[in-house]
Each structure stands twice: as structure tokens, then as C-alpha cells.
Amino acid sequence: MARIVMKFGGTSVADLDRIRNVANIVQREVRAGNEVAVVVSAMAGTTNQLVGWCQQLSPLHDQAEYDAVVATGEQVTTGLLAIALQVIGQKARSWAGWQVPIRTDSSHGRARIDTIDGAAMLAAMQSGEIPVVAGFQGIGPDGRITTLGRGGSDTSAVALAAALKADRCDIYTDVDGVYTTDPRIVAKARKLERIAYEEMLELASVGAKVLQTRSVELAMKERVRVQVLSSFADRPGTLVVDEDEIVEKEAVAGIAYSRDEAKLTIRRVPDRPGVAAAVFVPLSAQNINVDMIVQNLAADGTTDMTFTVGRADLPRAQAAISALHDEIGFAEVLVDSDVAKISIVGVGMRSHAGIAGTMFRVLAEKGINIQVISTSEIKISVLIAAEYTELAVRALHSAYGLDAN
Amino acid sequence: MARIVMKFGGTSVADLDRIRNVANIVQREVRAGNEVAVVVSAMAGTTNQLVGWCQQLSPLHDQAEYDAVVATGEQVTTGLLAIALQVIGQKARSWAGWQVPIRTDSSHGRARIDTIDGAAMLAAMQSGEIPVVAGFQGIGPDGRITTLGRGGSDTSAVALAAALKADRCDIYTDVDGVYTTDPRIVAKARKLERIAYEEMLELASVGAKVLQTRSVELAMKERVRVQVLSSFADRPGTLVVDEDEIVEKEAVAGIAYSRDEAKLTIRRVPDRPGVAAAVFVPLSAQNINVDMIVQNLAADGTTDMTFTVGRADLPRAQAAISALHDEIGFAEVLVDSDVAKISIVGVGMRSHAGIAGTMFRVLAEKGINIQVISTSEIKISVLIAAEYTELAVRALHSAYGLDAN
């Protein structure tokens, strides 16, 4: 017998038929002899409607009231799924976040879970009752409802799995697992059986949005084994696990791309200590996230600084840098939003040599110019012209042996 | 300065524009120097949708889960109205039933309020904050959400007014007060300035559905002064108060009618002790409510028993009586659902003589036959053929001097 937390996203509970389908999936796990707790999102579309109402009343609405309004979406699903489970003969009851309780900090709209007291729920489970828990929500220190931010139900599920010491947290969604890359642009993309937490994090941070990043961080910290699978297909998904559980470590596990980047180059910056701080401190003060950074020394004692920001931040970043002209003294700021970031990710990089070399060679063979390079222990990212995105991803996918047979 | 609980029903908060309108009405009371708490229903239509989902999943759904689902409707309105109040510069916050807390018994779906701890809310009010409270809901002894049954928000408001020792409970609805009779059939119907609790109860029980009966009972018990008024018209409504507050007591305050009646006559029942019990105990065992009862002794030692039931209960009542034929021994059962009950109501009846005589004379003058009569201390009801309903109500309305000038 295993203890499993099962989480179902908004598309999996979008209407009564799908809620009945979820009840059947849950029953299957129970009949297989497992002890189960369920976490649900709001029915697809509900959250957007509730958020829309708040925004129509006031774009700068009180986040505590936003939470009170929006948290109702998950509460509705919990009750409906509990009824659907009872209809097919399972004991079940709904739990709102405050009933568990799932205690969070007081940051309404983007709260973080502090503690989950799983005792009452565990007692219910051991009496044969299936708890159906509202994801995405908790209760703050002042007794008011909080929400965890969009996609927070994944985090609720992982946190609950940790609190209940569950053997696994199954995240049911509308895709059937994590792929080596986006199947929409690489027909030969392959579903991974297993992926390491670190790989999942790197892939999520560069645009493979299967799991909310915070939920993966939490799973890694609490060592919760997570499975990503589809509520519409009855087959195993992808396990997100500690890398020690992955015996055959491929050099590259997956390839991600992001077109949400923009590049800024500050030309002919005086090459003196403190210049980097003079540039980047004002950006961070404005909450502009800087990603890749390179700096090339020119012969005349000046330097060209190139860095990337999120495309949406480009106008603000450009204005912030231009405002520094007199203070720093530079020739000009060049911007380019027609770029894409391609990343290869794999814990196997730690033990395999020549991974970066292969990447650069393959791109060169296709005539693709690399504008910026950045690396981490398990990731290599390059910035290229956006028009080469699909070509680059496909070529790299083949080169690292990821293509399905 | 008065302390006022203001309650807004589903049509008053049906969309964002109406919620903004409600915020303005609340602000008007605050600017008039009053201390205000607000109780809201779900947006019109919401509750029906949520109830419909539960029923589609299972007609015999778990009432505790029904409560978890349906109570979200009011929670949404509280948050939206709090935002709308903040937008126009008022301090406001939402309170779910469990946050107040409004403690109820454990009868999910039709819970009764046990106690309300108004301390936290009162402290908020005294700091200048407007509490916006979810009506219709509370928290049961086991910490689960309960609801009070349809229309329960009126009861929430009155109970809160009692707990907060409010000077008045204003129930905003889509009519602008309590009328002497149904304005749809009597053009000269008049809005009452004041009506006694007892009168309101009698009128409600015979079909004038302005306030939920339980809310009036509670108001009478707790001596809460209730005002019924419209959220769409800026003018005073009708005050529901202790009869001592009504100086000029009219003999008749209002006239109600109900077409939801059916009449059964059991012919030639043996006239012996225990026969009435033999008839009515089986009906009450089946939850069939018997209203008016008359019994006429015939010359041959048998009796005719006539009584009324709700029209929807007629088939079950008829079957139950027929099943008693061999046990009791009677000639036949006659049924007539083409009847209406006309009631005149007024606390002034206690001190005015001749009220009943006037009623019988007026109906006789119009050629209307009275089939059954029943009376209480402040009400006289007659059963007549349904086709005379409007004629009877109009004639009585004039006869008791209720017509507007």
C-alpha cells in the first residue's frame, strides 16, 4: 500500500463529466490498495471570471479581498468531487484550506505555505475517507483566506504530500508527462520516464510550463516524488525524482526554448570598477530581472555590456539605462527583442564531457550565430536570432540522441 | 448615531453595477453618521447554478458537501462588495460565516444559528471599518460550513443585528416595502409604514413572501426592528416592529391570499372518539401539513370532515385517506383543488369588534360562498372558490378602508 496525493488541474475538473472522470481515477487508486488524498484546482474558467470581477471593480483591488473571492473556485470543486466520489461508493469529504489547516504567511495573492497540520486529515484517511482538499489556498496568521498565486495548486499538492509523508504526489494535467522538448515543434520529442528535480527546475525556468516552479523547488527540498500525468489517458506519466533515482543519466535530458527574451547592449562603457553595479542595481531596484550577462573588453579601454531581460520589461529597462547615460558615460544602447534562448539541460552534464562543444558545433553547422552564452552546472543556454528557434531545437534534439525511434 | 445592519438580496447584488450601487447606499448610511455592518446574499442566479451542479451529480447529495459548494456564492459577493466600498473610499472587509463566527447546529442545508460572537466584528466597526458578512451560512460544531436554507440571509441579518445590538436591520430587496395586499391584483394597495411582527408572520405564512418567516420569528423574539426597503428606490420602506410601536392600530393591516391550497372532504365518518386522530396522525406521519379543519355533525350520527392541505400534497393526502377506508369506515373522499384561501390580518382585531362580521357580509354581498373558516387571534381566513380570489381581495380591501387615496 502506498500513500498518494493526487492533484487535478482546472481542465481535469472543467465540468461535471470530467469531475466524474476524476472520481473514477481516484477510485482506481483506492481499489489498487492505496491510501489517497486529493487536491483540486478550480473548474477551468472559474478563476479567470472571479479575477476579472475583482479587476473590473478596481485594478488595484485589495489582495485580501481578491483572495476571499478567488479561493471560492477551488472550494466549489472540492464539494462537487466529494459528491461524485460518494455517488460511486467512496467515503469522501471536502476540506477548505482553512479547515486542514494549511497555514501560510500573510502575503495575500502570493502567500507561501508555512505549515500544514495533517493530523485531522490523516485520521480521516485512516478511517477510509478520501479527503478532497482545495488547492491554491490557505489561511493567514490573522485568520483570513490567502491564495498562493496562479498555479499554486501544484504547490499545495506537494506540500500536502510532504506533510502526509506520502510516497508520491501525482499531478494530473492535460499533458501526459514531461517531454524531451516541445512536441509542437519537434515531432520526435519523447516522453521522459524520469527527470531529476534540478532538470525540471531548469526546464520550467526556461519555458516548459508543466509544473509550477515553486512546487518543484518544494518537492526537491522535501524529497517528494512527483509524477506528471494526464487525466485523459490511462498510462504512466513522468516521475520527477532525486537524481540518484535515475540510473542511466543521459548527458542531456531535455531542450527548452524561450522567445520571451530581449537583449540590450550598452556600447563603449568605461571599463572601471563599479560600472556593473551602476548598471544592474538600478534595474533590480525596478524589479527588472536580468538573465544572461556578457562583457567584452575593447582595445580602447571601454567595454560592451550585453544582457537579457524579459521581453515585457524591455521598455522599462531601456528607459532605466538611458537615464544612467550622464552618470556612467557610454556611447549608446542597442536593443534587440528578436531573439530566442535555447537551453540544453541534464544532470548528466556533471559527468559527461564535451556537451557544450557539441552544442556549439551543431549550431555552427546550421549557420546559426550564437549571441550570448550562459551556463550553470546542469544547463547551457545560448541566445540566437528568433527565426532559428525551431531549426536549432530540432538539430540539438537529434544531436543529443533524444529523438524517438 | 445609530447602529444598522443592512442586508442586500441576490437581485440587489446581481452584477458589478448593482454591487457598486449597493456600495453607494452603504456609504450614504455611513455619511449620515451611522455605524454599519452589511450582510449579502449570492449574486442572483449563482446559488441556483451551484445547487444545480450538486443535484446533477446526485439528487440525494451529501448536505455537508452541498453547503461547502453553495456557501461560496455569498463569499464571492462579500469580497466584491468590500472592494467596491474601498474604491469609493470606505474601509471595508469581508467576513465569511466561519470567520465571524456564526455558530450553527449541525443540520446541514437547513441549519439554525446557535450563537454569534460579534466581538471581533464590533471592534472592526468601532475602528471605522465596514464588515461585509456572508449571509445564509455559518460554521457547525465540527468546524464544517453550514447553510441556513433558502432565504436564510434574512435570518443571518436579523441574528447579526441582535448580536450587535443594532438599532435596526434594513432588509434591501426588489420591492419597496410591505403592502396592504398584492399590488398586482389591487391597484389601490398601499405601502404600510409600520407592521407588527405578528402581522408580518401571518401575512408571510399565507403567501406574502417579502421576508423569510424564520427571520421574522427571530426578529420578534430578539426585538430587532426590521425595515423592508428597495435597493433600487431611495425612499423609506416598511418598518416591522413590536405592536406597541404602532400607535394607530388599524383593525386590519393587510389582506393575503393563497391559491396553493386543496380541500378534502371525508363524507359520513362515524362520529366516535378518536376518529380525528385516526385521520390526522397518518397525514402528519407523512409530513403532510393540514391547515384548516371543520367538522359538521349530520342527523344520522355520522359527520363530514373537511380540511385543507398544500396543493402539492393533495395526491399523497388523498391516497393516505383512501387507505384508511376499511379501518375508519366512511362513505367517500371528495377533493377540490380549485380553491383559494383569503386572510385578513391585523393586531387591531384584538380590540376592534365586528371584523369577522364585516368579512362575511362583504363576501355574501358579492355572492361568494365561504367553504371553510378558520381564525387566530389576529387573523381570519376563509376558503372560497379560486375564481373569486381577486374579487374577494378587492372588495375586502375597500371594506376595511385600506385603499390608497
pLDDT in tens, B162-183: 999 999 999 998 888 999 999 8
pLDDT in tens, B69-125: 999 999 999 999 999 999 999 999 999 999 999 999 999 999 999 999 999 999 999
- The whole-angstrom distance between A160's CA and the closest CA on chain B is 20
pLDDT in tens, A339-364: 999 999 999 898 888 899 999 999 99
- Out of B67, B79, B84, the one facing A68 most closely (by C-beta) is B79
Q: Does B62 touch chain A (CB under 8 A)?
A: yes
Q: Does A55 touch chain B (CB under 8 A)?
A: no
In the numeric block, the cell 416598511 is attached to B238
pLDDT in tens, B4-24: 999 999 999 999 999 999 999
Report the number of secondary-structure helices (H) and strands (E) in chain A: 13, 18
Mutate to test the interface with A, among B67, B83, B139 (most CBs of A within 10 A): B83
- Out of B57, B83, B93, the one facing A58 most closely (by C-beta) is B83
Percent of chain A with pLDDT over 70: 99
Helices within A206-344 (DSSP H only): 213-222, 275-285, 314-322, 325-328
Rounded-to-10 torsion of CA A66, A71, A76, A78: 180
Q: Does A334 touch chain B (CB under 8 A)?
A: no
pLDDT (mean) for B195-202: 93
Q: Does A88 touch chain B (CB under 8 A)?
A: no
A144 — pLDDT class (breaks 50, 70, 90) = very high
Contact B58 A83 (CB under 8 A): yes
From chain A, the residues in CB contact with B52 under 8 A are: none
Q: Phi and psi dihedrals of A392, rounded to 5?
A: -65, -45
Chain A segment 141-160 residues within 8 A of B by beta carbon are 143-145
Helix, strand, or coil here: A105?
coil
Contact B65 A94 (CB under 8 A): yes
pLDDT in tens, A303-346: 899 999 999 999 999 999 999 999 888 999 999 999 999 999 99
Q: Does A19 touch chain B (CB under 8 A)?
A: yes
Contact A16 B57 (CB under 8 A): yes
In the numeric block, the cell 534534439 is attached to A397
Helix, strand, or coil here: B208?
coil
- The whole-angstrom distance between B227's CA and the closest CA on chain A is 29
- Out of A53, A80, A99, the one facing B143 most closely (by C-beta) is A99
Q: Which residue of B has its CA nearest to A17?
A: B57
Q: Which residue of A has its CA nearest to B133?
A: A68
* CB contact at 8 A, B305 and B265: yes
Q: Could you tell me what percentage of chain B is helix, strand and coil, using 3-state DSSP and rounding each to the nearest 5?
A: 40, 30, 35
pLDDT (mean) for B130-153: 94
Q: Phi and psi dihedrals of B290, rounded to 5?
A: -95, 135
**B3-8, strands of its sheet edge to edge:** B92-95, B130-134, B35-40, B3-8, B168-173, B226-230, B238-241, B194-196
Strands A238-241 and B254-270: unpaired
Q: Which residue of A has its CA nearest to B57?
A: A84
pLDDT in tens, B345-361: 999 898 888 899 999 99
- Out of A62, A66, A94, the one facing B68 most closely (by C-beta) is A94
- The whole-angstrom distance between A47's CA and the closest CA on chain B is 12
Q: Does A130 touch chain B (CB under 8 A)?
A: no
Contact A56 B16 (CB under 8 A): yes
- Compute the distance between CA of residue B237 and CA of residue B241 in angstroms, rounded to an integer: 13
Q: Does A124 touch chain B (CB under 8 A)?
A: no
Q: What is the DSSP letter of B231?
A: S
Contact A94 B53 (CB under 8 A): no
From chain A, the residues in CB contact with B98 under 8 A are: 98
What is the pLDDT of chain B when averaged over all its residues? 93
- Out of B69, B79, B145, the one facing A65 most closely (by C-beta) is B79
Q: Phi and psi dihedrals of A75, rounded to 5?
A: -60, -40
The predicted structure's pLDDT at residue B206: 60
Chain B segment 95-114 residues within 8 A of A by beta carbon are 96, 98-99
Rounded-to-10 torsion of CA B337, B339, B340, B341: -90
- Compute the distance between CA of residue B399 and CA of residue B379 in angstroms, rounded to an integer: 16
- Compute the distance between CA of residue B78 and CA of residue A261 in angstroms, rounded to an integer: 41
The C-alpha R_g of chain B, in whole angstroms, comes to: 24
Q: Does B53 touch chain A (CB under 8 A)?
A: yes
Contact B145 A58 (CB under 8 A): no
Tell me which H or E stretch contains B40: strand B35-40
- The whole-angstrom distance between B101's CA and the closest CA on chain A is 11
From chain B, the residues in CB contact with A72 under 8 A are: 72, 75-76
pLDDT in tens, B384-399: 999 999 999 999 999 9
* CB contact at 8 A, A191 and A238: yes
Q: Which residue of A has its CA nearest to B93?
A: A65
Domains and CATH numbers, chain B: 3-174 (3.40.1160.10)
- Compute the distance between CA of residue A392 and CA of residue A359 in angstroms, rounded to an integer: 9
| pLDDT of A257 above 70 | yes
In the numeric block, the cell 540522441 is attached to A401
Tell me which H or E stretch contains B24: helix B16-31
The predicted structure's pLDDT at residue B274: 85
- Out of A62, A83, A94, the one facing B83 most closely (by C-beta) is A62
Grid coordinates belonging to A401: 540522441
Taking the CA of residue B115 as centre, how many other CA atoms within 13 Å lie in the half-sphere pointing to its CB? 3
The predicted structure's pLDDT at residue A208: 60
From chain A, the residues in CB contact with B57 under 8 A are: 16, 19-20, 80, 83-84, 87
pLDDT (mean) for B320-331: 91
Cβ partners under 8 Å of residue A403, min gap 6: A186, A188, A190, A397
The predicted structure's pLDDT at residue B122: 95
Q: Which residue of A has its CA nearest to B142?
A: A99
Q: In terms of Cα–Cα distance, which of A100, A140, A90, A95 is closest to A120?
A: A100
Grid coordinates belonging to A273: 570598477
Q: Does B75 touch chain A (CB under 8 A)?
A: yes
What is the pLDDT of chain A when averaged over all its residues? 93
From chain A, the residues in CB contact with B71 under 8 A are: 75
Q: What is the DSSP letter of B153?
A: H
- Compute the distance between CA of residue B269 and CA of residue B327 in angstroms, rounded to an integer: 11
Q: Which residue of A has its CA nearest to B101?
A: A143
Strand partners, B115: B103
- Compute the distance between CA of residue B12 and CA of residue A288 in angstroms, rounded to an integer: 44
From chain A, the residues in CB contact with B61 under 8 A are: 83, 86
The amino acid that residue A367 corresponds to is G
- The whole-angstrom distance between B94's CA and the closest CA on chain A is 7
* CB contact at 8 A, B264 and B307: yes
Q: Does B89 touch chain A (CB under 8 A)?
A: no
pLDDT in tens, B31-53: 999 999 999 999 999 999 999 99
- The whole-angstrom distance between A248's CA and the closest CA on chain B is 47
The predicted structure's pLDDT at residue A206: 60
Q: Does B51 touch chain A (CB under 8 A)?
A: no
From chain B, the residues in CB contact with A16 under 8 A are: 53, 56-57
Burial class of residue B73 (count of CB atoms within 10 Å of its CB; 0-12, 13-18, 19+): buried
pLDDT in tens, A55-107: 999 998 999 999 999 999 999 999 999 999 999 999 999 999 999 999 999 99
What ipTM was predicted for this assembly?
0.84
Q: In terms of Cα–Cα distance, which of B161, B153, B151 is closest to B221?
A: B161
Helix, strand, or coil here: B65?
helix
From chain B, the residues in CB contact with A43 under 8 A are: none
Grid coordinates belonging to A20: 466524474
Contact B68 A75 (CB under 8 A): yes
Contact A53 B143 (CB under 8 A): no
The predicted structure's pLDDT at residue B325: 92
Cβ partners under 8 Å of residue A177, min gap 6: A191, A192, A228, A229, A230, A236, A237, A238
